[in-house]
Amino acid sequence: MKLEIGNFHVKDVVFGETTNYKEGILTINKKEALDYVLEDEHITEADLLIVKPGDKVRLVPVKEAIECRVKVDGTTLFPGVTGDVAPVGNGRTHALKDCSLLVVGKHWGGFQDGLIDMSGEGAKYTYFSQLKNIVLVGDTDEDFEKNEQQKKNKALRWAGHKLAEYIGSCVKDLEPEDIETFELTPVTKRAEDVQKLPSVVFVMQPQSQMEEMGYNDLVYGWDTNHIVPTFMHPNEILDGAMISGSFMPVSSKWATYDFQNNPTIKELYAEHGKTINFLGVIMSNLNVALDQKNRAALFVAQMAKSLGADGAIVSEEGYGNPDADFIACIVALEDAGVKTVGITNECTGRDGESQPLVALDEKADAIVSTGNVSELIELPPMETVIGELESLGRDGLSGGWANDEILGPSVRKDGSIIMENNAMFCGDQICGWSPKTMKEF
């Protein structure tokens, strides 16, 4: 499979008479874009805003992030979601780089929603503060879940996916500024010099624990709760096969943007044929029952061994219960003779002294940490809030609270906040580009 991603590097985003891209400037006709969003009868109100790095803006509750793109051949960007199921990972896709489309609730948030600061101390905690962001902020008629801690956020998330394709269409027929090429020949047909290199597989564990449909990540529009570990071409992940879900504590989530730009996949590609033979991706799952966890781990290990893997990277989306899947997978791979490195965040408590993972094993002796989800963060008031600041404390965001006996409320009367790192939107970036590191004492 050969995927070409034609990049258009956005220098600025503005509103104007027509939606177009010219000389680094992305212009959006705001009315036409909102009319398109409001075609969904479940969207009761919507607005479109632009925020840029350095703006004195706080966004909350943030529900999703997507890179605006278009398939040059006219097929759908997100098969099974924005259109019919169709293969991805081949051909040409055009992408608007250095910007993202954020979906923000006008009022209601939940466990899976988070916060982004575009400037100040809070900006360092999330990658999305570095991007020029087109912000879709809206509300829906999904009254049945407004007061629920766990929300599917379907109407708003789907609106974001469709709008990302709608905006991306403006570069469909343009010549890209540069092209990234991702190509792997079939595993059994690679050149002899490549096959002599250490073979590495990337094991991804997307959120898939909710047995009720609508909360989990999607693969080709199919709920990942239904899948067993499956071998996928990395191009599929980079090209729209995966959609972010609405269940995981938000700092631990992979946004759809993270699937589209997964830095671990890109780094493995960069080393392919030089230092490693990149075999591809085993898309595993996260389970509830212990026997399901062990069974999935055995599937992964058998698949990796059959592919001839010498090494593996395992990355879990989330923490807590998923830690058992994460460690079981690492142990099964090590038992199969596959040297394995894990990528995960930790839940070590506000004081940093608790056990970092729910499950541990001495065979999991090479783990890259992306930080402590429970770390306390205090941030001053922000000049502008997009969404509703009160949602951080009112609606059960994973890092916020209505009131704490010692710390008081997450949202203070002056607009300053205190919260756990948990509430930073995709803040731990377990996909591979976390800015955090470790100190040894």
334-364 per-position pLDDT tens digit: 999 999 999 999 999 998 889 999 999 999 9
- Predicted local distance difference test score (pLDDT) of residue 431: 85
Q: Which of 6-15, 30-39, 376-385, 429-438 has the lowest mean pLDDT?
A: 429-438
Give yes or no for residue 440 having a pLDDT over 80.
no
- Predicted local distance difference test score (pLDDT) of residue 197: 98
Q: How would residue 429 be classed by pLDDT, with cut points 50, 70 and 90? A: confident
Rounded distance between C-alpha atoms, residue 104 and residue 418, angstroms: 20
Tally of CB atoms within 10 A around 375: 22
- Predicted local distance difference test score (pLDDT) of residue 207: 95
329: DSSP letter: H
- Predicted local distance difference test score (pLDDT) of residue 118: 98
- Predicted local distance difference test score (pLDDT) of residue 352: 87
| Of residues 86, 338, 67, the one with CA closest to residue 203 | 338
Give yes or no for residue 387 having a pLDDT over 90.
yes
Give yes or no for residue 224 having a pLDDT over 80.
yes
Q: How would residue 137 be classed by pLDDT, with cut points 50, 70 and 90? A: very high
Burial of 319 (0-12, 13-18, 19+ CB in 10 A): buried
pLDDT averaged over every residue in the chain:
95
Tally of CB atoms within 10 A around 95: 23
pLDDT, one tens digit per residue, over 409-420 is 999 999 999 999
User: CA–CA distance from 173 to each of 21, 170, 176 (Å)?
Assistant: 11, 8, 9
- Predicted local distance difference test score (pLDDT) of residue 438: 66
- Predicted local distance difference test score (pLDDT) of residue 239: 98
Tally of CB atoms within 10 A around 232: 17
Name, in order, each residue with C-beta under 8 angstroms of 211's C-beta and a sequence gap of 6 or more: 225, 288
DSSP-H helix ranges across 95-152: none
Percent of the chain residues past pLDDT 90, beyond the cut:
93
* Cβ-count burial 278-292 (b if 16+ within 10 Å, e if not): bbbbbbbbbbeeeee
DSSP for 339-385 reads EEEEEEEE---TTS-S-SSSS--TT---EEEEEETT-EEEE---SEE
Helix (H, G, I), strand (E, B) or coil at 217: coil
At 264, which helix (H) or strand (E)? Answer: helix 263-271
Rounded distance between C-alpha atoms, residue 386 and residue 46, angstroms: 12
User: CA–CA distance from 401 to each of 141, 268, 334, 417 (Å)?
Assistant: 25, 39, 40, 11
3-state helix, strand, coil in the chain (%, to 5): 25, 30, 45
Contact (Cβ atoms closer than 8 angstroms) between residue 430 and residue 286: no
Tally of CB atoms within 10 A around 305: 16
| Of residues 340, 334, 312, 315, the one with CA closest to residue 325 | 315
Rounded distance between C-alpha atoms, residue 54 and residue 20, angstroms: 25
| Of residues 36, 42, 40, the one with CA closest to residue 141 | 42
Q: How many residues does the chain have?
A: 441
First to last CA, the chain: 47
Take residue 176 and report the two structure tokens written for it: 């890209």
Q: How would residue 433 be classed by pLDDT, with cut points 50, 70 and 90? A: confident
User: CA–CA distance from 361 to each of 232, 299, 337 (Å)?
Assistant: 28, 19, 16
| Of residues 229, 94, 247, 270, the one with CA closest to residue 175 | 94
Contact (Cβ atoms closer than 8 angstroms) between residue 60 and residue 389: yes
Question: 308 or 396, which is more confident?
Answer: 308
Rounded distance between C-alpha atoms, residue 262 and residue 234, angstroms: 10
pLDDT, one tens digit per residue, over 101-118 is 999 999 999 999 999 999
Rounded distance between C-alpha atoms, residue 247 and residue 213, angstroms: 11
* Cβ-count burial 201-210 (b if 16+ within 10 Å, e if not): bbbbbbbbbb
Determine if the pTM surpasses 0.95: yes
pLDDT, one tens digit per residue, over 65-87 is 999 999 999 999 999 999 999 99
Rounded distance between C-alpha atoms, residue 232 and residue 153, angstroms: 27
Give me the phi and psi of 52, to 5 degrees please. -130, 160
